Amino acid sequence: MVEPGAVVWFTGVPASGKSTVATLVEEKLRAMGCLVENLDADEVRQNLSPNLGFTPEARDENTKRLAWMGKILSRNGVHVLIAAVAPMRYYRDRAREWCPRFVEVFTTAPFEVCKERDPKGLYARGERGEINDIAGWHQPYEEPENPEVVLPTHELDLETCANMVIAKLRELGYLSCDGGCGCGCDDGYTAEEQAKVEERLKDLGYM
Amino acid sequence: MAKAQRVLVVGWDSAPPKELFEDWRKDMPNLDRLMNEGVHGLLRSTDPPITVPSWCSMMSSRNPGQLGFYGFRNRRVGEYTGKWIANAQAVKVDRVWDILSRYGKRSCVFNVPQTYPVKAINGVMISSFLTPSTESDYTYPKSLKADVERVSGGYIIDVDEFRTEDKAWLLDQIYQMTEKRFKVAQFLMQEKGPWDFFMMVYMGPDRLQHGFWKYIDKTHSKYEPGNPFENAARDYYVLLDQQLGELIAMAGPDTRIFVVSDHGAKRMDGSFNVNDWLIQEGLLTLKEPLTGVRRFSEEDVDWSRTLAWAWGGYYARIFMNVQGREPEGIVPADQYEAVRDDLVRRLEATTDHTGRVMRTRALKPQDIFTGPCNDAPDLFVYFDDLYWRAGQDVGHDSLHSFDTEIGPDDSVHDYDGILVMSPTGNAGSRVEGAQVMDIAPTILDTLGVPVPKEMEGKIIATD
């Protein structure tokens, strides 16, 4: 029986840091020896659904496909990272329903910060009036109500963000961390360490 | 001030209210100022009132029945041997700094119990006394360890072997540890900021009180007037007060200060040898006859003739040998409650060395906790209102001892610790009815962060 993987959905408005954090989480999970797939929404859309636009129906279909891929990959032991705005809550709730080990990560930053970052030039295009479909600006973005992890990416450094995601995966029992992940969790708490603590407690009469 | 930009929590493990709020207040100008500018009062500890789980309840606002641990060492129900230690891995709920991290607020968490193994937070962390040694990675991030070792001149996890007759040595060790801690705290404050939440716990008070209570408390049976350590505890708190003043100054304006303790302390009147008592009552049988005092071990028990056994400490944990639950259980499951009630009755009738019925309480976990009580003992026992500790060794000549088997120890834990919170409205007034689980929601509220509905405590009103 294969130990299932987790599906980690990074949601947030454009330039809030979804892909950046997901990429570092991917790197850390690989370093831990995990099977990982990082389904960047833009790449998946380009390769799997080039005909889909950005209408509500198309977004619905795209997130459905992402969730389905997450489901089938994760049941085969792969940790699946999905960096996709998925602006409506029901898109993510559907994925949560389909994927037993679902972790919603909400990346958030003030509008001005996202506009300043603008790695894909979306906000600049919006400013010039070339596009008018940016979630959280022209289009609605429904923030998660109970995400497993919230990352204010303008406040936290990237390393901390990635470590917090990994720590949550570990806490939920979705990872057996060997302490080499750099998340600071040190699950490599060894029998020798435990023995040292017990010995000290014994000396103090606590055992 | 309902909200503040920052929160500084200074924890004095085991700090007792009467001594600090009345006896030594005049010698502690910084605590006195906080009390005048804020509120203060008793802070009811957890059941049981001990370091683990109390600090964790304070920072998570969950009772031990929810947390699933009741002391440093814990037992898996259904197993006779094999104890597990409740370190950070046992904490499955968010503590204040986990929540603050999610809101982008930065924390410095320093020497708070149950933080080893350390985990990632938005900020920095140095773990506490359940850290195996300074060879371990006891900081987050790992790179911080080198700074801690450099700044402290060699960090100390705890005062080892604090149960000693060499009191001058012990006092020196406690002062060394405290000075090193303070140097690191200064470094964190000045070099690792900015922070929104800073929490530091001093273990020195607990170690000092266990080692020196008989010297300071005139009501203690071992008290000797004019002894050289008469003022040891007060003088130590004067040092802590000086350091408190410096921490407050470094924290800067618009910081709300909390000074808290996980439980109080009071004199130890004796040690009630609870396993010897169980043997005497015919409830516990060992495989071999006893020849002298020895450490109780489950491996020595004849389970076919044992209804219950105990772990000792400042309170006792009673475990029952139940059919279908323990491997060789003999208490029929359908008689579990009747047997347990009988145990309560017998325990609450125990007497001290003079024949006086002690004010002993035997508590069922389901009556004091709201959680699933995973792995809880069948009874928690506080002998004589906690004035007597529970000795678990077997083979004593008497049920009552006045020297503990674990080395010199002259104080026990009390139910109430301290709470000082400043600045607040109602300056100078007392807070009534506060308990440790109220601290986490009050901190979050102070910083303008929503209080999770799972938290069991309430926000302490200050207006």
CB within 8 Å: A197 and B132? yes
SS3 A7: strand
Q: What does the pLDDT read at residue A192?
A: 77
Which ipTM was obtained for this model?
0.76
- Chain B residues in contact with A156 (beta carbon < 8 A): 101, 104, 122
Interface probe for B, chosen from A151, A172, A197, A199 (most Cβ of B below 10 Å), is: A197
Predicted confidence at residue B1, as pLDDT, reads 53
At B187 the pLDDT is 97
Q: CA B389, CA A52: separation in Å to the nearest integer?
A: 72
Collect all residues of chain A within an 8 Å Cβ-Cβ radius of residue B407. Answer: 205
Distances (CA, A) of B47 to B53, B66, B236: 9, 12, 28
* B161 interfacial to chain A (CB closer than 8 Å): yes
Among B102, B158, B203, pick the best mutation site for testing chain A contact (most A Cβ within 10 A): B102
Spans of chain A, pLDDT less than 50 = 178-186
Across the interface, of A151, A184, A207, the residue whose CB is closest to B118 is A184
* Rounded Cα–Cα distance for residues B46 and A123 (Å): 53
Residue B210, amino acid: H
Place B2 in a pLDDT band, splitting at 50, 70 and 90: low
Interface-testing mutation among A104, A165, A206, with chain B (most B C-beta atoms within 10 A): A206
Rounded-to-integer distance, Cα A142 and Cα B274, Å: 60
Partner residue facing B103 (CB), from A152, A196, A204: A152
- Measured between beta carbons, which residues in chain A are less than 8 angstroms from residue B404? 205
For residue B161, which residues of chain A lie inside 8 Å, CB to CB? 203-204
User: Is B73–A152 a contact, with Cβ atoms under 8 angstroms apart?
Assistant: no
What pLDDT score was predicted for residue B405?
66
Secondary structure element (H or E) that encloses residue A38, with its range: strand A36-40
Residues in chain A within 8 Å Cβ distance of B136: 186, 193
B101 lies within 8 A of chain A by CB: yes
pTM given for the model = 0.79
User: Three-state SS for A110?
Assistant: coil
Q: Is the pLDDT of residue B107 over 50?
A: yes
Q: Which of B85, B121, B137 sits opposite A198 (nearest CB)?
A: B85
Residue for token pair 């490599």: A188
Check residue A198 and give its pLDDT: 83
A173 vs chain B: nearest CA distance in angstroms?
Answer: 10
How high is the mean pLDDT of chain B? Answer: 94
3-class DSSP assignment, residue A107: strand
Distance CA B20, CA B25 (A): 5
Rg (C-alpha) for chain A, rounded Å, is: 20
Residue-wise pLDDT for B164-213, tens only, equals: 888 999 999 999 999 999 999 999 999 988 899 999 999 999 999 999 99
- Of B9, B100, B89, B15, nearest to B51 (Cα)? B15
pLDDT of residue A156: 85
B385 φ/ψ sector (left φ>0, alpha ψ -120 to 50, else beta): left
> Sheet containing B388-391: which strands, arranged edge to edge?
B388-391, B270-273, B400-401
Q: Which residues of B touch A167 (CB under 8 A)?
A: 119-120
Of the partner residues A185, A192, A198, the one whose CB lies closest to the CB of residue B120: A185
Give B38-51 pLDDT, tens digit per residue: 999 999 999 999 99
Q: Would you say A139 and A131 are in contact if contact means Cβ atoms under 8 Å apart? A: no
> Which pLDDT score, from 0 to 100, does residue A185 have?
46
Structure tokens at B36: 């005048």
What's the burial of B37, exposed, middle or buried (CB within 10 Å: 0-12/13-18/19+)?
A: middle
How far is residue A74 from each of residues A40, A42, A92, A104, A178, measured CA to CA in Å?
A: 16, 20, 16, 15, 20
- Residue among A156, A163, A198 whose CB faces B104 most closely: A156
The answer to whether B89 contacts chain A (CB < 8 Å) is yes
- Amino acid residing at A155: E
Predicted pLDDT at A194: 79
Q: Report whether B91 contacts B440 (CB < 8 A).
A: no
Instruction: Give the SS3 label for residue A51.
Output: coil
**Which of chain B's residues have a Cβ under 8 Å away from the Cβ of A201?**
72-73, 85
pLDDT of residue A200: 80
Contact list, A181 vs chain B (CB under 8 Å) = none
- What is the arithmetic mean of pLDDT over B212-241? 94
Nearest to B313 by CA among B366, B273, B352: B273
Q: Are B249 and B256 in contact (CB under 8 A)?
A: no
Report the pLDDT averaged over residues B427-441.
96
Residue B30 CA to residue B20 CA, distance in Å, equals: 12
- For the segment A91-112, what is each residue's pLDDT rounded down to a tens digit? 999 999 999 999 999 999 999 9
Tens-digit pLDDT profile for residues B360-419: 999 999 999 999 999 999 999 999 999 999 999 999 999 999 976 667 889 999 999 999
Q: For residue B156, what are the CA distances in angstroms to B134, B135, B144, B151?
A: 7, 11, 15, 12
Cβ proximity of A182 and A165 under 8 Å: no
> What residues of chain B lie within 8 A of the CB of A206, using their CB?
71-73, 313
* Residue A152 host element (H or E): strand A149-152
Match 């998660």 to its residue by tokens: A144
3-state secondary structure chain B: CCCCCEEEEEEECCCCHHHHHHHCHHHCHHHHHHHHHCEEEEEECCCCCCHHHHHHHHHHCCCHHHHCCCCCEEECCCCCCCEEECCHHHCCCCCHHHHHHHCCCCEEEECCCCCCCCCCCCEEEECCCCCCCCCCCCEECCCHHHHHHHHHCCCCCCCCCCCCCCHHHHHHHHHHHHHHHHHHHHHHHHHCCCCCEEEEEECHHHHHHHHHHHHHCCCCCCCCCCCCCCCHHHHHHHHHHHHHHHHHHHHCCCEEEEEECCCEEEECCEEEEHHHHHHHCCCCCECCCCCCCECCCHHHECHHHCCEEEECECCEEEEECEECCECCCCECHHHHHHHHHHHHHHHCCCECCCCCECCCEEECHHHHCCCCCCCCCCEEEEEHHHCEEEECCECCCCCEECCCCCCCCCEEEECEEEEEEECCCCCCCEECCCEHHHHHHHHHHHCCCCCCCCCCCCCCCCC
Contacts of B453 (CB under 8 A, 6+ apart): none
| Cβ-defined contact of B162 to A198 (cutoff 8 Å) | no
B160/chain A closest Cα distance in angstroms: 7
Helix (H, G, I), strand (E, B) or coil at A104: strand
Chain B nearest-CA residue for A153: B104
CB spacing of B104 vs A160 below 8 angstroms: no
Backbone angles phi, psi at A97, to 5 degrees: -65, -40
pLDDT value at residue B102: 77
**Which residues in chain A have Cβ-Cβ distances shorter than 8 Å to B121?**
160, 164
